[in-house]
Structure 1
């Protein structure tokens, strides 16, 4: 089922891209440093995992996505059909490719309000709010480096992401007309599951996911933390499952869910060699079984989404998608260090983890810093 779903995505994307997603996924050295390639690959893996879970009777009650992951989330909830979702992911990546070299990004382990004060007067912008103590910044490479020096002297987590892009910042402004023109006439639908927008931080009708929305998805900060709260408080989601090649959002999820007044179980589901065991945060009961294992080709460390966990039948559930930032370099057994992914800032084959002391490195899930995606 996974391969069939990815093959269907490949067929639909071929006309937009002029190359094969399936072939690139099989490549020993995919060009993940190019965002116009990395984004379609992430999208294909996410849809493959979603199809695999659906075949096993696991369907989302609500969905959310982080940055590029909102495209897969929009498809998962039925707001975009496959043709429309493939059009969005292709045009999004091609447009953002033009901004390479326009700035950098960094993960910071501080609350958004405090960071806003720190960046006032600097050529920096808040690119994502991932939890009460995790944000992502975008902007000038020099300004980021100077701020990083200050924060590290204070003992504050800071990680400059290994990306040659400044997503969710004014660096995106030159591509607005191109993206909106390319997506003109997009016809989103109401969908079959609730969509919580990480652009607005609240529930949004699927019919509003037109061209202008996808521009906002590229330009505005990713409100992942507020969206997670909306999934729990607004839709009663008691189980949130992260789906992707590696678990990268669980730290953000646990810290955000610790702020709500009801128990929430967080589970990671990814096409890895080892199943990821369910983890529960403060006041959260442990999930008794992790649900079905999924299989599929390994990829870069990016997040796919959330779906219902069979271990907690009867409770709410959510599906989400997102790119990823923050983590540490490393090697999986028998694998080379791999290639950096420009959509997520991570390296293929790099195991999950973090480094508090590193200034530069591959992007990944930083337990107290960085933005995540899908």
Structure 2
């Protein structure tokens, strides 16, 4: 089977991964089409599977997308079966239906806590961009550590233990930086970055504010100092209470516990001495309040950090921060920050101060960021981001994407992450999702994307009145090729302004499809017919359902109102034009 150009065009044992993207006008339509696709694909030859993936990507979009990832007919069939059942959509290789929207992407760099033995080992073994990035990180860390990064990632028996703070923190730094490089190798460029606690060091490297060697120095040196001075002296606890509620409870402990982080509306972290933390947890359990110890053995983000101030400032003095090329939102200030100020003093304050993660996410949402990709071996902060957005009434306007997951650290999981990003509208080229192959003609009965109804369709309302030999040719073409035929005669005309994702008239890309749906497509057919000359009668059987009418406005978040003349000649008004991108 032809393979995906996976992990930077590297050859690997997992190079046969395929992604099938299923569009629909809503989540239920995606599931119904997945069921029909599974039934139809069962009779297709294995050699046609890559071509099916290409044809699906060329099929007209409809506002929602779901996807399955697999390396053969059995895995793809199992994925399609899971996609049809909302209760099974969390299965590996399955992307639940997501709403497509124009996305501004944030890379989220996590704190300690998502590590697991063997994390990213499969990606490392696959080679390519990720392995190269890990090698670069290992070289940058080498002057500051006495253990092997690659051995830890592979989970070798004699590797340094992830229970050591001076091991786990640099390892997570390397994984985060390498995952960022892997995403960018597929064309996903962040519009902003944010980091939580130690993740902010990786965020500074990704943003371009710190060189990789300087980032490695900050991470490894500070972790070593903590291990030698503070390890085993404290504890941290995650609490299901608001900022104010947590502070009220901390007042009873007389300065023995401190607020370490505010991660969401009802997600906080406290820190302090081990005995005081245990007492806090016991009180919460007695009162029915959710509280759980975090796998951190020192009182980070508290006055305890003052003990290591002088050593941190001395060891980090050589770093040379600079203004990055990607905006960074600081979880120290809760605002966008010029990374040129991230000197040794900043990194001491960053370890000493409470983490204002919720404030940073609110700042990013105010800047109209709406897609958050967590660069971690297991998602830890996506639920916090979702709860923050929900508290601001923006839950339906954002999308979150995990990269790796516990027990799923290989190319298959990353391919699923790419598919998830594509399904919510993150800009990705087709070659990032499926290998090059000759398209396979898909039955119109399976993918009549805009005219689908639960019962028998109303034929008259589902057909346009366009006529001519052009329409005859159009009807004879396979489904996946019809957009290109319609848009071809219109290239350079003002009608191209009504096509989705075509910012300029002279940059028409037929495979991008339409923004408005069948009704506006029928207008394009009529216009194209006029431009190529009239002739014999013909009909273009696409429904007049306009799924884009259900699409939220990027400006207001409400429904986009469409206005049509109704004469079949053109569609005017209601054109959603991308506005100016707000900056930090």
Do the two structures share a fold, i.e. TM-score over 0.5? yes
Offset at residue 313 of structure 1 (A): 8.3
Equivalences for 1:87-166 in 2 at 5 Å?
87-97=217-227, 98-120=229-251, 121-166=254-299
1:232 to 361, 365, 389: 365
Equivalences for 1:246-325 in 2 at 5 Å?
246-262=378-394, 263-270=397-404, 271-272=409-410, 274=413, 275=416, 287=424
2:144 to 3, 8, 16: 16
CA distance in 2, matches of 1:313, 1:108: 44
1:164–1:313 Cα change, 3 Å = farther
1:278–1:200 Cα change, 3 Å = farther
CA distance in 1, matches of 2:190, 2:196: 16
Offset at residue 27 of structure 1 (A): 3.3
- Which residue of structure 2 lines up, in the alignment, with residue 309 of structure 1? none
Offset at residue 12 of structure 1 (A): 1.5
**1:50 partner SS:** helix
1:62–1:28 Cα change, 3 Å = same
CA distance in 1, matches of 2:501, 2:247: 41
Offset at residue 22 of structure 1 (A): 1.8
CA distance in 2, matches of 1:227, 1:253: 10
Equivalences for 1:65-104 in 2 at 5 Å?
65-97=195-227, 98-104=229-235
**1:236 partner SS:** coil
Instruction: Decide whether the 8 Å contact of 1:194 with 1:203 is kept in 2.
Output: yes
TM-score, length-scaled by structure 1: 0.73
1:193–1:261 Cα change, 3 Å = farther
Offset at residue 123 of structure 1 (A): 0.3
Q: Which has the higher helix share?
A: 2
CA distance in 1, matches of 2:154, 2:137: 15
Offset at residue 288 of structure 1 (A): 6.1
Deviations along 1:243-271, whole A, 9 cap, x unmatched? 21111212111101113354211111224
Instruction: Decide whether the 8 Å contact of 1:122 with 1:143 is kept in 2.
Output: no
CA distance in 2, matches of 1:9, 1:112: 36
**1:193 partner SS:** coil
- Which residue of structure 1 lines up, in the alignment, with residue 320 of structure 2? 187
Instruction: Decide whether the 8 Å contact of 1:277 with 1:290 is kept in 2.
Output: no
TM-score, length-scaled by structure 2: 0.47
CA distance in 1, matches of 2:426, 2:138: 33
Instruction: Decide whether the 8 Å contact of 1:278 with 1:290 is kept in 2.
Output: no
Offset at residue 18 of structure 1 (A): 3.1
- Which residue of structure 1 lines up, in the alignment, with residue 58 of structure 2? none
Q: How much is the aligned-residue C-alpha RMSD, in angstroms?
A: 2.4
Instruction: Decide whether the 8 Å contact of 2:188 with 2:426 is kept in 1.
Output: no
Offset at residue 207 of structure 1 (A): 0.7
1:60 aligns with 2:190: yes
Instruction: Decide whether the 8 Å contact of 2:331 with 2:356 is kept in 1.
Output: yes
- Which residue of structure 2 lines up, in the alignment, with residue 320 of structure 1? none
1:259–1:163 Cα change, 3 Å = same
Instruction: Decide whether the 8 Å contact of 1:268 with 1:277 is kept in 2.
Output: no
CA distance in 1, matches of 2:256, 2:141: 36
Runs of 4+ with deviation above 3 angstroms: 271-280, 288-293
Task: Give ranges in structure 1 of 5+ residues lacking alignment.
Answer: 281-285, 294-311, 315-374
**1:46 partner SS:** helix
1:210 to 343, 355, 378: 343
Deviations along 1:19-47, whole A, 9 cap, x unmatched? 32123222334411111111111111111
1:220 to 349, 353, 370: 353
More relative contact order, 1 or 2 (CA 8 Å, 6+ apart): 1
CA distance in 1, matches of 2:427, 2:387: 20
Offset at residue 287 of structure 1 (A): 2.1
User: Computing the radius of gyration over CA atoms, which structure comes out larger, 1 or 2?
Assistant: 2
1:200 aligns with 2:328: no
Task: Give ranges in structure 2 of 5+ residues lacking alignment.
Answer: 1-128, 434-499, 503-584
CA distance in 1, matches of 2:380, 2:243: 20
Task: Work out the number of aligned pairs and report it.
Answer: 290
Instruction: Decide whether the 8 Å contact of 1:247 with 1:269 is kept in 2.
Output: yes
**1:266 partner SS:** strand
